[in-house]
Amino acid sequence: MNNLFIVGSMNIDLIFSAKRIPKVGETMQSDSFDMLSGGKGANQAVASALLNTSSYMIGNVGDDLFGKIILDELKNRMVITDYINVSKKTSSGVACILLSDEDNRIILDQGANAKTSFSQVNKVLSKIAKKNDVFLAQLEVPVETVKKSLEKAKNLGLKTILNPAPAQVLPEEIYKYVDIIIPNEIEAEMITGINSNSIHFNKHVVDYFINKGVKEVIITRGCNGSVYGDSHGLIMIRPFKVKVVDTTGAGDAFVGAIASKVASGSSVKESLTFATAASALAVTKFGAQASMPNLKDIEDFLSRKLE
């Protein structure tokens, strides 16, 4: 098993559940409130660590109560936290999540995540990374850090994965350092400018990224499953039908599962059904990290669904 290095955000999620989204200027009572550890980087690290992958989290938390909670939760879920910095005089990242029916809306404050630097990543990769390890990043830390880190990882012979979330305009040169890109359909539309309602959306998005130098593309499409594409064509992956409780962790469960399987030596194509099962299980529970399935959960689920 190769190592997995995750550079990304770590947050505390403040979660409000309500029957509907408030209107502009409206104040309303929530049905419930929870405080949980989150952040796309941390979520994906937990998702992979629970699948028995050596998952090294690289990033920053604040020197506050939230930072301590984040670190304790990651350690409890088997994530390797040796390379997480505690930033003095800086608050930890916070996400405010509003859940309504089967929808979620999120607003973020980066806090210490904004201090995640390339020099920090460079020290870790130069010290312990080896060829065929896997490097995974998202966009909740500075994009310049992500670009330089992907370049470093690629030059060291690591397999690189980018989950371009939240979507933003990316520097053109970043794509040549990305082996696998995993946007959801909204992110794919925002980055490429291709209308998600167009007939050939999937093919055009895959072609867009392949033409920029990415080797493999996965577009996650929620209840419509996902699409895999490379220079040889497209594969449609159907979703598993489950009872939806909370969609917050679905995408991160999928990405973490893909990264874990690639680290184990599987191809991306071989990993798609496994990752789809991971995301299906994640939506059946509340919260992000709290909803991530372990290896036995996924294997048992697949044995039931595929028998």
Is residue 75 left, alpha or beta, with left meaning phi > 0 and alpha meaning psi from -120 to 50?
Answer: alpha
DSSP readout, 91-135?
PPEEEEEEEETTEEEEEEE-GGGGG--HHHHHHHHHHH--TT-EE
Give the global pTM: 0.93
Known catalytic residue at 252: yes
* Placement of tokens 């489950």 in the chain: 242
- Beta-carbon count within 10 A of 70 CB: 28
Question: Using one digit for the tens of pLDDT, what is the confidence trace for 231-275?
Answer: 999 999 999 999 998 888 999 999 999 999 999 999 999 999 999
CB 59 within 8 A of CB 9: yes
pLDDT at 251: 96
Spans of the chain below 50 pLDDT? none
Q: Which residues make Cβ contacts (< 8 Å) with residue 23, sequence separation at least 6?
A: none
pLDDT at 306: 77
Cα–Cα distance for residue pair 96/205, rounded to 1 Å: 30
Is 142 buried (19+), middle (13-18) or exposed (0-12) by CB count in 10 A?
A: middle
* Helix intervals (H) in 177-267: 185-192, 201-211, 250-263
pLDDT at 277: 97
Q: Which of 133, 179, 246, 252 is catalytic?
A: 252
- Beta-carbon count within 10 A of 199 CB: 8
Enumerate the β-bridge partners of residue 62: 87
Q: How far does CA 66 lie from the centroid of its chain?
A: 21
> 137, 181, 171, 127: which is closest to 40 by C-alpha?
137
pLDDT at 150: 98
Question: Using one digit for the tens of pLDDT, what is the confidence trace for 97-122?
Answer: 888 876 778 888 999 999 999 999 99
Domain ranges of the chain: 4-9+40-90+113-305
pLDDT at 286: 84
First-last CA distance in the chain: 28
pLDDT at 307: 66
CB 18 within 8 A of CB 100: yes
CB 60 within 8 A of CB 142: no
Structural element, H or E, at residue 61: strand 55-62
Could you confirm whether domain 4-9+40-90+113-305 is CATH 3.40.1190.20? yes
pLDDT at 248: 84
